[in-house]
Structure 1
Amino acid sequence: MIKKILFIVILINCALSNAQSVNPLQTKDSLAQVKWVDTLMKHMTVEEKIGQLFMVAAYSNKDAAHKQFITNLVEKYHIGALIFFQDNPVKQAELTNYYQSISKVPMLIGIDGEWGLNMRLKNTYRYPWNMTLGAIRDDKLIEQFGKSVGEHCNRLGIHMNFAPVVDVNTNPDNPIIGNRSFGENHINVADKSVAFTKGLQSTNVLASAKHFPGHGDTATDSHHTLPVVDFTEKRIDSIELYPYKKNFEAGLAGVMVAHLSVPSLEPSADLPSSLSKKIVTGLLKEKLGFKGLIITDAMNMKASANFASSQEINLAAILAGNDLLDVPLNIPETVTRFKEAIEIGELTEERLDESVRKILQTKYWAGLNNYKPIELANLKSDLNKVENELLHRKLVENSITLVKNDELVFPIQNLDKKKIAYVKLGDDSGSHFVKMLKNYTRVDVVSDKNLDKLVEKLKKYNLVIVGYHKSNVNPWKSYKFKNEELVWLQEIARTNTVILDAFASPYSLLQLKTFQNIEGLLMSYQNSKLSQEISAQMIFGALETKGKLPVAIKNVFSEGHGLMSTSLKRLGYAIPEEVGLSSEKLKRVDSLAKVVVKKKMAPGLQVLIARKGKVVYNKSFGYFTDEKKQKVDNSKLYDVASMTKILASLPLIMELEEQKELTLETTLGELMPKVKNSNKDTLTVKEVLSHYGRLKAWIPFYFKTLDSVTKKPSDKYYREKWSKDFSLKVANKLYLRTDYKDSIIDRIITADQRSKVGYKYSDLSYYLFKDYIENHYKKDMNVLTQEHFYKSLGADRTSYLPLKKYYKSSIVPTEKDDYYRNQLVQGYVHDMGAGMQGGIGGHAGLFTNANDVAKIMQMYLQKGYYGGKNYFKSSTIDKFNHRYYAFDKVRKGVGFDKPQLKEKEKATCGCVSDKSFGHSGFTGTYTWADPESEIVYVFLSNRVFPTMDNTGLVKYNVRTDIQQFIQDALIE
């Protein structure tokens, strides 16, 4: 007897554990809720009560006839709810306001918003699909996602979202769930859906879990036929129903019942689960104890619509225990049939009242007791806030999964030793992926219609990134490889080191017969712009991988598998708010840049802003020249003039200092025998690089090479064609005598010193350092900078002598020279002295774009570390980024420019820290980095076009004004 009592107690406890302890529709002010519901119920006619059971499909992209159709249903048949489908949010809001105004009782408004309102409405925000979210480890992010979707629903007057999908997708061939599921693990599905439900319902938007009792292991689509779930009751209880139980415990307020054939739960195999009293009432309401609102899946779906006439299946659904009919057909006939059923006792008024009361409870729960029309002002912007993108970026970043990483091929290191190709597979675009990859280093897009020819082309590469790109339009689009693509992939992998990045369902990997030859495997889940961009950043180590597989891939990679990668601290790419800057305030930069172009202060320009290691603004404005024939874009190269000092010469000098080849106290005489016993013999490295060595500002070397009469380059020094004796190419068809380089050095050495001690900016020491460095290494600075820095940094758009590496159309012209070269200077260094050294100067000659400048500045900001490599010791950066002559008001560090110390100086905006550093260039360039704010700023232009007399950029302090705008945009 005691055992029997204990057994009964256990059964009761089990039943209670499955049931909701509290009615999820009950509000905190339950007495007021009951009173509101009772008052409405008391005055409702039978027809009005019946009308509450219908949630009719409404469209915002249909004509006046449809509007009248809905109007008629509201006014004549008192329908209680609408579910909106396509078009745009503003039109939907207008229609909602109208329909609510003619409804006696405020209507519930519903939507299918599994990944946000964009599932149904354009011009609204789209988040990732559930399968993508299933890869995230941090469920708090899913709760934030649910909350954001709820806020959007609230803003648009939507009270019910038919989400989350809690189907456990254990069948890879499921044609309709698939990517809509959080995965194949019932625990993960439960955790993710509970988090979503909590987030959504925290905004007073009702969640409706679907598709009860479980649509995850079906091979057909209930939109077209009746799918069969052929499992035992025990299996369904432990797997399919598990997420529902967990959601019930968490306060889930709604459940949508699917149209399925479940023989183990409903013996009548042809009876859809939505019409089965055993399933809806017996299982959901009684056994599981669900007390919330029960909604059918759409009643126009073939799985239910084929069962009987519309009015009969509508009645059957209510008799089965459902409360709200989703997309019912033939409302007038259904109302007539319901009234007949009541008259003959087939449908009792008690049963009708039960559902109507729950519907009204839901309306009170959603705040419809205090209904207010939707505010139309700023609706679009409110549904597309920057906070939404911030969350979206977090979701994608936390989902992407590193599945395989043989030979530590991921993230890519040692760029100086890599020759990388990209090959596209799949039928969708990979343009955003490729564009982002190219931000890090040179990546060649390689393709061919013939496999053998493609393999031959790939032989010269030692790493191939294969992007598999499938449609991101909706989650049920095909994700499968073509047979030909499978063959191509395996052949490419057999002959090359490969990283495969799949922008498709993880089920696509099931088609691969082997993963043996694929060294790196990344699962990016969706082919969205953000997925492509963030995935590319992970490949190069700007971001870490954090995701896990939501499904198993054969018996090779288990569900939950995911490798964690490490950051190489390369620049990432984000939006301003991600790093504490305001997008809105940075629009001032756009405005000023446009003024620069309009006022012809420069034909065009590039501006880049990075913070905390992430580029958040990288834009180009204007054209190459005032003829406005070619627009500037971010890939184009500018002559950066004196920025060459800190981008080329200084890193080589710092490297030599670390190698103990020199110190800051080493004299020029000790470094260079030529200087011994000259008036520059005892000048130290520290003095001349701080511009404290009494050197002249500059020497116009080219003057003495001009014909005294014509003022054109003299035949004594120049030729139109190259020869051994005239090998220094100054410009197009202009070659200087080879031995003139020595004349330049000699002239600097013998030049008089300034008598006055103190600061004077001078280029001359950099001529001497160039001579020293090249003699030391027996290589020119173009080769040295590439070998020591640029290749490994991935600065593939940075070089001396750019015409040897890039198309002329990639290089922005500097000046219409009428005083020396007498031509448009394009691809040749603007600085005359650097030009007379064959285009390679220590003080000028470098061409680059803003993105590459930022890499070098970020390396400095990170105290010499970048891309997994230590270029310098932290102490070395500090040593050179220091003012040694501040006592004499010298603002300069050793090579680096620093913020002004005198009132009349304008080195910066005056708004950056004393630790900051950078440099400017005569051609209209500027870069600055601040360790305190972690901001890197790059400004490139050709302000000397058409001539050097164009000084507007300098006169109006444009570069430092933009620097001030950046500081003003800080929101932390």
Structure 2
Amino acid sequence: MFKRILFIVVVCNALYLNAQIKDPLIAKDTLAQQKWVDTMLSSMTLDEKIGQLFMVAAYSNKDKNHEKFIANLIEKYHIGSLIFFQDDPIKQAELTNKYQALSKIPLLIGIDGEWGLNMRLKDTYRFPWNMTLGAINENSLITAFGVQVGKHCKRLGIHMNFAPVVDVNTNPENPIIGNRSFGENYLNVANKSVAFTKGLQSEHVLASAKHFPGHGDTATDSHHTLPTVDFAKERLDSIELVPYKKTFEAGIAGVMVAHLSIPSLEPTTSLPSSLSKNIVTGLLKNELGFQGLIITDALNMKASANFASSEEINLAAILAGNDVLDVPLNIPETVIRFKEALQTGELTEERLDYSVRKILKTKYWAGLNSYKPIETQNLLADLNSFENELLHRKLIEHSITLLKNKEAILPIKELDKKKIAYVKLGDGENDSFISMLRNYDNIDVISSDNLDELISKLKSYNLVIIGYHKSNTNPWKNYKFNNKELVWLYEIARTNKVVLNIFASPYSLLQIKTFENIEGLVVSYQNSELSQEISAQIIFGALEAKGKLPVSVNNAFAEGEGLKSTSLKRLAYSIPEEVGLSSKKLNKIDSMANIVIKDQMAPGLQVLVARKGKVVYRKSFGYHTNEKKEKVKNYDIYDVASLTKILATLPLIMELEEQHVFQLETKLGELLPSLKKSNKDTLTVKEILSHTARLKAWIPFYNKTLDSITKKPSEEYYQKKMSSRYNIKVADKLYLRNDYKDSINFIVKTAEQRERNGYKYSDLTFFIFKQYIEDYYKKDLNALTQNHFYKPLGANRTTYLPLSTLPKSSIVPTEIDDYYRYQLVHGYVHDMGAAMQNGIGGHAGLFSNANDVAKIMQMYLQKGYYGGKRYFLPSTMDKFNHRYFEKQEVRRGLGFDKPQIKENEKATCGCVSDKSFGHSGFTGTYTWADPETEIVYVFLSNRVYPTMENKKLIKSNIRTEIQQYIQEAIINEQY
């Protein structure tokens, strides 16, 4: 039995090793590769062969002396490879072309690009660190990451990337690996390494696993001293070596050998692993069967450089079994030493040829047999395309990890019941996090130099978000809390409901002794702008948390833990390509906006485009007024005029109809007893909302309140100071007699009907419904819309009477009124009829910004659902978004405007679906949503400045032209 078991073990080991010995450097056209290698090798001198072993450090940010130094090494010593460090991609490309032109045999170009070229080069794209990627469940995303890095390398003439880091980081105190590792689980590290390798090498860029045989469980930095890995061979074989075995099976082309002292593998403890024949040849080549290119870690590092003279170290590295010497020192002396070794037999030419042949095979595999110079035109654009951010967003979104969610505190629901504060810990930037949080709700940033004062300030809040922000400059930066921060964290958590968000290494959690009082815990891993933005979106349920913790946190959280959060279907924020739109085509909106400003169609404007629930274009242009003193910002608000109809009054109407308070066939006389026996008695809800009820278009109520001679507000109706009788504020220091509200209702009631049947747009519909709704609820539209919709939606910058809640500086003025109020209308509704209703009209009076308008339109697009709350049934939305008089060529739905039917109408660009809906506003506003394309479009401006006679915007049809651009931006989709 023993013999049978032994036989099975031997056979299995043989099969295993056989799987390992497949040469990853063999090209598809094997015969052509072999012929090229043989031809090159046979023509090389001894000096040229020795030169192939050197991979010299080259810099693109050094002076001409450095360039001459490299050129000399190429021409005189025939070096075979360069590894580029800092700093500029265009300069590197130019230098690469120059150096390649000097070399008889094309140079192999390498780089350390663990998180992309940005690890070494500015003006290139930075992807997340491995620890962040280790939290991702879907390894296909890691492959995609490898592909993208491969594309960048290839574009810049780089043939070998010294990545992935396959070290299993089981030591939290590791000073050099840490965030560069995929984590502490060897299988997760192995799978991520394989995925990255496959992606990178699919672009014909060689991957190189590092740092063999495993640098994860060390507490010292090999750049400065020789770390010791004091584990038995069995432990190394079961943990550290697993990712190497897996990547070898996957066909990784290269391995970088670390400078470590490993007594269980190399008895001479002072001998670095990179110089150990037992480790490089015995373990890596013979036992593990690796046939690819073997490269030392940088030989200028103290862990190897302190062992002996440079030339002796370089020779020892080759004798140990390495093929390429990375960043060798003293090359002239090394060449002399190698020749001496060849003469004495210490080094044989057969051994030299073995490595040179492998290097040449590598160069052929990388395409250097048909070398072409790097094209520098459009280089930066190619290295910084939208595909980078698209991938980066996916990586971050899938990595962010929810570790604790007591009482389902996340995502944040019921915004109308929340008062949220934000407190910052750490010394990193946090602007992007705060800015994104404020897209969803009012967030007050609370700070103090005194803990007691801070706790006192937080008493009025029922939720505190604590952001721990540390530097995102590089993965070696200090991530630890200081003692003061820990004390403050414990005390804030003891006295408040808290969500803690860690924008740093998950190892920072090791310092927290208890998580008992922390209700929500999120790990965002890095403090990049994207991490901050996406994490904020997860907190509010626009995106879902999907990540798993790549390392353990004492006994509190195990490696692999991670809760999945739910989506509340709030608007998210992304880039156009993520939702199938072209950034380039959407950027045409900029030029249209600039025309608006240049031609003085309006002093300024906001434009927003969302698709598939994600805002992908959101910009502000110009100034508040033509005086150009205050630039328009995204959070500034505009008088949205008739958009009030569908943003304020209509949702209340839909709500009441759904509750069966009335029906579409209900007559106005039944709704409002005051209309009984009037000429509006028998008009139905359906008719007036479809604008087919023969109501007048509008009534200039204010005319009757002007002095007949001066044409200014009559003292009979107005005073400059508020009093019990004059308390309707129509503008600054101008108060209307409070009984005039009844006069307006009477005028609407007794107004003559149009004689002709058919469609005619009318404001009076919403005067009537304002009266009905306010009578029904015994509250005004401002209170009703806030409580029923805006507060729970998080539309915190949407309001009537904006001066009562928002700073005047954030309100865009409308008109310089020279016909009624005789002043700059700033913070007061432009519409005269709404102003005479104390600024709260059913047809006008609402102020908002593009972001908030989009929230409401997205709620409509989602059939009445938004932010985890259902406002209407889908059937209600369908009922109101329907043309009931289409046969009479009436394009309107119920309250909603719809695309034109007649050729002479200009409701839309004519390029949206019949299912789409929206509205326009007199002040130069417009919003539209299309269920088919899932697009929401918002355009806000104050085109009535300086006066409403400024009709350039209307005549230009610029709002619908932009709508056309949006439709044309859809990528490869037909609607």
Band the TM-score falls in, shorter-chain normalisation: over 0.9
Aligned AA for 2:580? G
Structure 1 equivalent of residue 495 of structure 2:
495
Structure 2 equivalent of residue 580 of structure 1:
580
Q: CA deviation at 1:18?
A: 4.2
CA contact (8 A) 2:21 2:290 kept: no
2-structure distance, mates of 1:858, 1:308: 69
Q: Please list, as runs of the form range in 1=range in 2, the aligned pairs for 1:726-737 lying within 5 A after superposition.
A: 726-737=726-737
CA contact (8 A) 1:15 1:287 kept: no
Aligned AA for 1:946? P
Structure 2 equivalent of residue 438 of structure 1:
438
Q: CA deviation at 1:902?
A: 0.8
1-structure distance, mates of 2:854, 2:639: 15
Q: CA deviation at 1:658?
A: 1.3
Aligned AA for 1:807? P
Is the aligned partner of 1:669 residue 2:674? Answer: no
CA contact (8 A) 2:175 2:221 kept: yes
CA contact (8 A) 1:686 1:894 kept: yes
Structure 2 equivalent of residue 172 of structure 1:
172
Q: CA deviation at 1:16?
A: 3.9
Q: CA deviation at 1:21?
A: 3.6
Return closer, same or farther for 1:12/1:338 CA change in 2, 3 Å cut-off.
farther
Structure 2 equivalent of residue 929 of structure 1:
929
CA contact (8 A) 1:162 1:210 kept: yes
The answer for unaligned runs of 5 or more in structure 1 is none
Q: Please list, as runs of the form range in 1=range in 2, the aligned pairs for 1:838-849 lying within 5 A after superposition.
A: 838-849=838-849
Aligned AA for 1:626? N
Q: Percent identity?
A: 74
Structure 2 equivalent of residue 701 of structure 1:
701
Is the aligned partner of 1:10 residue 2:21? Answer: no
Q: CA deviation at 1:421?
A: 0.7
Structure 2 equivalent of residue 71 of structure 1:
71
| 4+ runs deviating over 3 angstroms | 2-6
- Deviation per CA, 1:459-509: give whole Å up to 9, x if none: 111011111111111011111011111111111111111111111000000
Q: Please list, as runs of the form range in 1=range in 2, the aligned pairs for 1:585-604 lying within 5 A after superposition.
A: 585-604=585-604
Three-state SS of the structure 1 residue aligned to 2:642 is helix
Structure 2 equivalent of residue 99 of structure 1:
99
- Deviation per CA, 1:634-666: give whole Å up to 9, x if none: 000000000000000000111111111111111
Structure 1 equivalent of residue 354 of structure 2:
354
2-structure distance, mates of 1:106, 1:532: 44
CA contact (8 A) 2:790 2:798 kept: yes
CA contact (8 A) 1:15 1:288 kept: no
- Deviation per CA, 1:313-352: give whole Å up to 9, x if none: 0111011110000000111011011111111111111111
Aligned AA for 1:273? S
Structure 2 equivalent of residue 564 of structure 1:
564
Structure 1 equivalent of residue 330 of structure 2:
330
Structure 1 equivalent of residue 874 of structure 2:
874
- Deviation per CA, 1:371-411: give whole Å up to 9, x if none: 11111111111111111111111111111111110000000
CA contact (8 A) 1:143 1:196 kept: yes
Three-state SS of the structure 2 residue aligned to 1:730 is strand
Is the aligned partner of 1:380 residue 2:380? Answer: yes
The answer for unaligned runs of 5 or more in structure 2 is none
Structure 1 equivalent of residue 506 of structure 2:
506
Three-state SS of the structure 1 residue aligned to 2:239 is helix
Q: CA deviation at 1:44?
A: 1.1
Q: CA deviation at 1:225?
A: 0.5
Structure 1 equivalent of residue 43 of structure 2:
43
1-structure distance, mates of 2:810, 2:171: 51
Three-state SS of the structure 1 residue aligned to 2:809 is helix
Q: CA deviation at 1:13?
A: 2.7
Three-state SS of the structure 2 residue aligned to 1:932 is coil
Q: CA deviation at 1:3?
A: 4.4
- Deviation per CA, 1:877-901: give whole Å up to 9, x if none: 1111111111111111110000111
Q: CA deviation at 1:4?
A: 3.8
Q: Please list, as runs of the form range in 1=range in 2, the aligned pairs for 1:297-446 lying within 5 A after superposition.
A: 297-446=297-446
CA contact (8 A) 1:280 1:321 kept: yes
1-structure distance, mates of 2:256, 2:307: 19
Structure 2 equivalent of residue 227 of structure 1:
227
Structure 2 equivalent of residue 120 of structure 1:
120
Structure 2 equivalent of residue 193 of structure 1:
193
CA contact (8 A) 1:296 1:322 kept: yes
CA contact (8 A) 1:670 1:676 kept: yes
Q: CA deviation at 1:8?
A: 4.7
- Deviation per CA, 1:649-684: give whole Å up to 9, x if none: 000111111111111111111111111111111111
Three-state SS of the structure 2 residue aligned to 1:229 is coil
CA contact (8 A) 2:624 2:631 kept: yes
Is the aligned partner of 1:239 residue 2:239? Answer: yes
Aligned AA for 2:595? V
Q: CA deviation at 1:11?
A: 2.6
2-structure distance, mates of 1:10, 1:843: 84
Structure 1 equivalent of residue 528 of structure 2:
528
2-structure distance, mates of 1:74, 1:511: 51
Structure 2 equivalent of residue 912 of structure 1:
912
Structure 2 equivalent of residue 632 of structure 1:
632
Return closer, same or farther for 1:15/1:236 CA change in 2, 3 Å cut-off.
farther
2-structure distance, mates of 1:46, 1:755: 105
Structure 1 equivalent of residue 268 of structure 2:
268
Aligned AA for 1:793? L
Paired positions, count: 971
CA contact (8 A) 1:182 1:189 kept: yes
Q: CA deviation at 1:135?
A: 0.4
Q: CA deviation at 1:555?
A: 1.1
Three-state SS of the structure 2 residue aligned to 1:240 is coil
Return closer, same or farther for 1:494/1:781 CA change in 2, 3 Å cut-off.
same
Structure 1 equivalent of residue 477 of structure 2:
477
- Deviation per CA, 1:46-79: give whole Å up to 9, x if none: 1111000000000000000000000000000000
Aligned AA for 2:460? K
1-structure distance, mates of 2:492, 2:5: 66
Q: CA deviation at 1:523?
A: 0.6
Structure 2 equivalent of residue 547 of structure 1:
547
Is the aligned partner of 1:965 residue 2:957? Answer: no
2-structure distance, mates of 1:6, 1:826: 90
1-structure distance, mates of 2:2, 2:777: 92
Q: CA deviation at 1:608?
A: 0.3
Structure 1 equivalent of residue 715 of structure 2:
715
1-structure distance, mates of 2:647, 2:425: 38
CA contact (8 A) 1:207 1:253 kept: yes
- Deviation per CA, 1:689-728: give whole Å up to 9, x if none: 1111111111110001011111110100001111110000
Structure 2 equivalent of residue 206 of structure 1:
206
Aligned AA for 1:320? A
Structure 2 equivalent of residue 147 of structure 1:
147
Aligned AA for 1:13? C
Structure 2 equivalent of residue 606 of structure 1:
606
2-structure distance, mates of 1:15, 1:79: 38
CA contact (8 A) 1:399 1:547 kept: yes
Is the aligned partner of 1:739 residue 2:730? Answer: no
Aligned AA for 2:852? D
CA contact (8 A) 1:18 1:245 kept: no
1-structure distance, mates of 2:17, 2:886: 75
1-structure distance, mates of 2:2, 2:455: 74
Is the aligned partner of 1:945 residue 2:945? Answer: yes
TM-score norm. by structure 2 comes to: 0.99
RMSD across aligned positions (CA): 0.8
2-structure distance, mates of 1:3, 1:154: 54
Three-state SS of the structure 1 residue aligned to 2:295 is strand
Q: CA deviation at 1:41?
A: 1.2
Q: CA deviation at 1:287?
A: 0.7
CA contact (8 A) 2:411 2:540 kept: yes
2-structure distance, mates of 1:203, 1:608: 37
Three-state SS of the structure 1 residue aligned to 2:840 is coil
CA contact (8 A) 1:713 1:821 kept: yes
